[in-house]
A and B are shown apart, each in its own frame.
Chain A
Amino acid sequence: MVVGVSNEPTGLLEKHIEKKGIAYPIAKTKGGDIDKMYGVKGFPSGAIVDPYGRIVWMGNPGGVPRSQIEELLALTSFVPTIDDDDYKKINKLILAQDFGKALAELDKLLVKDAENELLTAAKGDIDGLLERKLEQADAATQSGDYGLAVAIYADVQTFFKGTQAAKDAKLKQKAVEKDPAAKDELAAAKKMAKGDEAQMNGDFEKAAKVYKGIVKKFPETKCAERAQAFLRRHGSL
């Protein structure tokens, strides 16, 4: 989804929203600190945030190469629906991100209709999503970003409930959780979630307190790095 960000006066923004028929969220910020944080030097300027809250791209939205757009799309949990009203049931499952059931339905239909291009394409899209999620989780594990790895394995279990892939993801998640190297990172990630939640509720003081605790208790973790960045941005270090 798109979120527009501007620090202009409310009246001006409201007029513009009406004139252009804007239907997506607009965040009105105060002053220029948020722009500066995001390295905005001119307009338009953009940043893409992945489902795990991480920035995956920053720059001029007019200048993104197609290959990169595809890479960015791969970070989403986006699966296209089937462009045919005969498959309402499967589309409903896809929209609900219940990909495990969607796959089961597709397999049933494919037994009778193996050559159906729409069905094979849909299956390919869902299989592709699973493959990407598992690749991302592996990469996160390799780089020591265990909190992210666990979050992705948890997503796979939700999206692919009832499948072998979900069972495998559960085992992989357990393996990461048992890895002694991941102990501090995961403990820090747990705390981090509390700080993030406080941020989500707009309670920045509480967030800062939680983040300070992480920096103190788990100084060598990736979470501590992120916590420190937050504290520096808010001038509370």
Chain B
Amino acid sequence: MKLIGLVLALTALVSAPPAVEVVKVGDIAPEIEGEWFLSETNTLGALRGRVVLLDFWRTW
């Protein structure tokens, strides 16, 4: 059982997703996947035609 656990842990390590690539000015803004509150849309793509300020914030 221990061995299976180890194999599973190793597999998880190997198949870990690659590092996220950071966007730069000029790139198409990546979609903001998630649940949108107070909004008629839940995608950034639907806001084409408008200028959007993305404000990354925390309640703390």
Contact = CB atoms under 8 A, between A and B. Distances in A.
Contacts of A30: 33-34
A28 interface: yes
A25 B36 contact: yes
A4 B57 contact: yes
B14 to A, nearest CB: 14
A1 B37 contact: no
A6 B33 contact: no
Contacts of A226: 27-28
Contacts, number: 184
Interface of A is mostly: mixed
Interface string A1-34: 1111111101011111100001111111110011
Interface core residue of B26, B49, B53 (most chain A CB under 10 Å): B53
Contacts of B51: 1, 48-51, 72, 75-76, 78
Contacts of A57: 25
Interface residues of A, number: 67
Nearest to A15: B59
A189 B57 CA distance: 33
B20 to A, nearest CB: 4
Interface string B45-60: 1111111111111110
A230 B39 contact: no
Contacts of A6: 56-59
A37 interface: yes
Contacts of A204: 31, 33
Contacts of A1: 47, 50-53
Interface string B12-49: 00000110111111111111111111110111111111
A224 to B, nearest CB: 12
Contact of A61 (B23, B29, B53): B53
Interface of B: 17-18, 20-39, 41-59
